[in-house]
Amino acid sequence: MRVLLTGGTGFIGSHTAVELLAANHDVFICDNLCNSSRETLTAIESITGRRPVFFESDIRDARAMRGILGDNGIEAVIHFAGLKAVGESCVKPLAYYDNNVSGTVTLLEAMQATGCRTLIFSSSSTVYGTPQKLPLTEDHPVGGVTNPYGRTKLIIEKILADLCAADAEFSAVCLRYFNPIGAHPSGLIGENPNGIPNNLLPYVARVAAGVLKEVNVFGDDYPTPDGTGVRDYIHVMDLARGHALALQYAAGRSGWDAINLGTGKGYSVLEIIRAFEKACGHPVAYRIAPRRAGDIAANWADPSKAQRLLGWRAERGLEDMCATAWNFQQRLLSGK
């Protein structure tokens, strides 16, 4: 299939590009490089032997999007492009609504204009807000989101549902990711955020590498077994495979759907630090810090819908997630 990956040079998009190229799809990437670099294209080519067709372009550029979709006969879009820093979204909400929500509307208009009617959307477990029960199933109520970033995900999910209701041929699948971590086993692609990382794993990796001093563990008084926050960490390679399967699923149907991509198992912050220590072979310094505003105590997925509809389930464990993240971090430091 001829597939456009918006945000395809980013963390999850690049791993998905590798997976799709291996499955013989024709991969096109459009990214404005606000949080990634062109070098990722060379890394993807080194891994797969094929280079995606790349457009340095913004999804809010209506004319460019129509051109990319129309000129290349794009049959489906996997929509990763977006800003994703929760804290920044509280400081610059309009930038998030503009980039994520307006950008998606522009992309959808271009898809409509060019007759492309299949979309996979990068949603998030954040749309569930504070869980009323665990594990989270897709029919758990959405809403109660505590920050503008999360609200953009929720709004986009609703826009896609409205579009599917209005256009009987449109197919939209919202993949609700839990916490993607890890890297490709080659160490050539992985998660490398600009500045100080917001997310736990890249922060832990940089402390382990001696780039940052210590991990701030945000709260040890949650109602969890060791008092620290519990999340469902999922290997980015498993997540990438989920996209390839979701693409087949979405292409063969119409209408709106939402599917969790998680493992079904939660780990605490301290368990993650311990697992990373094993992977890197030395202690990782940490201190207990105050809770982070807007955090929930725990969430993890019920991934059975993905198994049922896509034949997907997570296969890689925490050890592999930490080992590959550490491998990637070391390659970054060595500059190779």
Q: Which does 35 bind (CB under 5 to 8 A by kind): ligand UDP, ligand NAD, none?
A: ligand NAD
d(CA 55, CA 8): 10
**Residue 96 annotated to the active site:** no
User: Do residues 30 and 6 lie in contact, with contact meaning Cβ atoms separated by under 8 Å?
Assistant: yes
d(CA 234, CA 124): 12
User: Do residues 233 and 267 lie in contact, with contact meaning Cβ atoms separated by under 8 Å?
Assistant: yes
Position 275, amino acid: A
- β-strands 267-268, 230-231: how paired? antiparallel
CA 23 from centre of chain: 20
Out of 216, 224, 307, 330, which residue is the one contacting ligand UDP (CB under 6 A)? 216
Q: Give the binding range for ligand UDP (CB under 6 A) out of 18-26, 137-145, 193-201, 317-325.
A: 193-201
Out of 177, 203, 233, 312, which residue is the one contacting ligand NAD (CB under 6 A)? 177
Out of 179, 192, 260, 263, which residue is the one contacting ligand UDP (CB under 6 A)? 179
Q: Which of 96, 149, 177, 203 is catalytic?
A: 149
Determine phi and psi for 2, rounding to 5 degrees.
-95, 110
Q: Which is nearer to ligand UDP, 27 or 269 (CB)?
A: 269
Site mask, ligand NAD, residues 85-124, x = CB under 6 A?
--------------x---x------------------x-x
d(CA 273, CA 214): 11
97 near ligand UDP, rule: CB under 6 A: no
Q: Which does 82 bind (CB under 5 to 8 A by kind): ligand UDP, ligand NAD, none?
A: ligand NAD
Q: Which is nearer to ligand UDP, 137 or 198 (CB)?
A: 198
User: Do residues 326 and 280 lie in contact, with contact meaning Cβ atoms separated by under 8 Å?
Assistant: yes
When CB distances to ligand NAD are compared, the closest residue is: 10
CA proximity to 265, closest of 238, 302, 294, 306:
302
d(CA 310, CA 292): 35
151 near ligand NAD, rule: CB under 6 A: no
1 near ligand NAD, rule: CB under 6 A: no
Q: Give the binding range for ligand NAD (CB under 6 A) out of 81-89, 155-163, 224-232, 298-306.
A: 81-89
Q: Give the DSSP letter of residue 97.
A: I
310 near ligand NAD, rule: CB under 6 A: no
Query: What are the tokens at 53?
Result: 């067709």
Q: How many residues bind ligand NAD (CB under 6 A)?
A: 28
Q: 3-class SS at 259?
A: strand
Which residues contact ligand UDP (rule: CB under 6 A)?
179, 198-200, 203, 215-218, 229, 231, 269, 292, 295
**Residues taking part in catalysis:** 149
